[in-house]
Amino acid sequence: MTRPSLLILSFSPIADDARVLKQVRLFADRYDVTTCGYGPAPEGVVAHHEVPADLPAWRKDPRWLLLRQYSRVYWGNAAVAYAKSVLPVGEFDAVLADDVDTVPLALSLRPRHGVHADLHEYAPGQNSELPRWRWFVAPYVRWICRRFVPQTASVTTVGQGIAERYTREFGYPVGVVTNAAPYAELEPATVGSPVRLVHSGNAQRNRTLEVMIDGVERSTTPVTLDLLLMPNDEVYRDELRARCAGSERVRVLDPVPYRDLVRTLNGYDVGVFVLPPVNVNYEWTLPNKFFDYVQARLGVIVGPSPEMAREVEARGLGAVTADFSADGFAAVLDGLDPATVTTWREASDACARELSAEVQSTGWADAVGRLLDGPPEG
C-alpha cells in the first residue's frame, strides 16, 4: 500500500535543527517524508533536496524592501528560487512548512491535501531590537503573515504567549507545540558541593550571557558553571572565553552533538537560562534547552520570562530570578543547597514524560493527520 507523501520544508540545516528533526522523526514511520533545507539529509527520509549553503534564505534585496515590492523580495531570494526549481508541483500529499519564509513556497507547490505552517517563534519580532529590522524587514514579514499564512490549513507555534500574539494581530487560530525534547530514560544524579550549573545554547551577543557568568562569580555559594556554546558568533564566544580564562568557577566549552546533549547534561545539577527580553521572542521564550534540562533531570533556574517562569513555578522545577541582572541571578544562587537542588531534580523526573516530545508533539500529528485524512483540495 502506498503511504502518503509529506514534504518538510525548512530553510535551516535540518540534520542539526532540533525542532525540525522532531518532525522528521515523528512522521518518518507514518509517511514517505521528503525534506528540503540546508545540509545533509536527516535519517529516515525517502528523499532530500539540499539547498546550497551559499544561497542564504535570510538575504533580502534591499532595493525591493525599500520600495515595498514584497513579492519581488520573496521570489527573488536565491534560496526560495533554488527550492522552487527542484521541488515538484502537485506531487506531495501535504507540506509541513517551517517558519514564515517557507509558507509562500509551500503553497505554490500545490500539495494535494494542503499545508500546515509551523511558525516557530513570532516572526515579525525576530530582531525587533534592531531599528532597521523594525523599519524594513518586519513589514515584509507581516505581509507574509497576512497574505499567505491564512491560506494554510492549520498553524502552530512554540508557546501560548506567541500563539495569542499571532491570533490577536492576524486573526487566525494558532496551536502550540513546544520545543520539547525526546523522552530520556535517565535518573537524577546525587547533588554535591559545589553545585554544578550548566547552560547550553548559542553564542549570540544579544543573549548577554555575561549576566550568568557574573552572577556565578558574585555568588557566595560554592557553584560552578559550564557554558556549552555553539559557534554562532565566534568572536563573541572568544570574548567569553577570554573573560573566563582566569576563573575557577566558569568555563566556556565546545558544544556536544545534540544526540549526546541530554546525557551530557545529566552529569550536572542545575540548568540555567537568564535571557534579557531585548525582543519579543526573547520575552516569550520557551526554548529547547528548557526541555533538555528537564529530560536531563536537572533543576532549572530562569529569569522572569513568562513562559519559562510559569512552568518552573507550577511544577516546582527550580527558581525564578527577580530580574534579568547578574545580582538577581547571584541572589538565587546564594540560596542554593544540595537538598533544595535534589528536590528540583526529583520534580524534573516526575514531569519528564509529560514534557517530552512524544507527548508535546501531538499537535503536529493531529494537524498533519487532519490534512491527510481529509479530501484533496480543489
Q: Is the pLDDT of residue 373 over 80?
A: yes
Secondary structure E strands in the chain: 5-13, 32-38, 47-51, 94-98, 115-118, 154-157, 175-176, 195-202, 223-230, 250-253, 270-273, 299-302, 318-320
Residue 16: the pLDDT is 83
Query: Percentage of residues in the chain with pLDDT exceeding 70?
Result: 99
How high is the mean pLDDT of the chain? 95
**Grid cell at residue 145:** 503573515
Q: Can you tell me the mean pLDDT for 337-345? A: 96
pLDDT in tens, 186-219: 999 999 899 999 999 999 999 999 999 999 999 9
Confidence of residue 41 (pLDDT cuts 50, 70, 90): very high
Residue 328: the pLDDT is 98
One-character DSSP codes across 147-162: HTGGGSSEEEES-HHH
The C-alpha R_g of the chain, in whole angstroms, comes to 21
pLDDT in tens, 312-329: 999 999 999 999 999 999
pLDDT in tens, 167-185: 999 999 999 999 999 999 9
Q: Can you tell me the mean pLDDT for 139-148? A: 97
- In whole angstroms, give the CA distance from residue 12 to residue 36: 9
Residue 231: the pLDDT is 86
Confidence of residue 127 (pLDDT cuts 50, 70, 90): confident
Residue 377: the pLDDT is 75
Residue 117: the pLDDT is 98
Residue 216: the pLDDT is 98
If you search the block for the grid coordinates 514524560, which residue do you land on? 353
Confidence of residue 266 (pLDDT cuts 50, 70, 90): very high
pLDDT in tens, 271-309: 999 999 998 899 999 999 999 999 999 999 999 999 999
- In whole angstroms, give the CA distance from residue 368 to residue 111: 12
Q: Is the pLDDT of residue 374 over 80?
A: no
Residue 378: the pLDDT is 60
Q: Which residues contact 209 (CB under 8 A, 6 or more apart)?
A: 199, 203, 227, 229, 240
Residue 129: the pLDDT is 79
- In whole angstroms, give the CA distance from residue 20 to residue 120: 10
Residue 375: the pLDDT is 78
Q: Is the pLDDT of residue 239 over 70?
A: yes
Confidence of residue 1 (pLDDT cuts 50, 70, 90): low
The helices-and-strands tally (H runs, E runs) of the chain is 18, 13
Which domains are present in the chain? 5-177+361-373 (3.40.50.2000), 195-351 (3.40.50.2000)
Residue 131: the pLDDT is 79
pTM for the full model?
A: 0.88
- Nearest Cα to Cα of residue 178 among 356, 21, 11: 356
pLDDT in tens, 63-118: 999 899 999 999 999 999 999 999 999 999 999 999 999 999 999 999 999 999 99
- In whole angstroms, give the CA distance from residue 319 to residue 302: 7
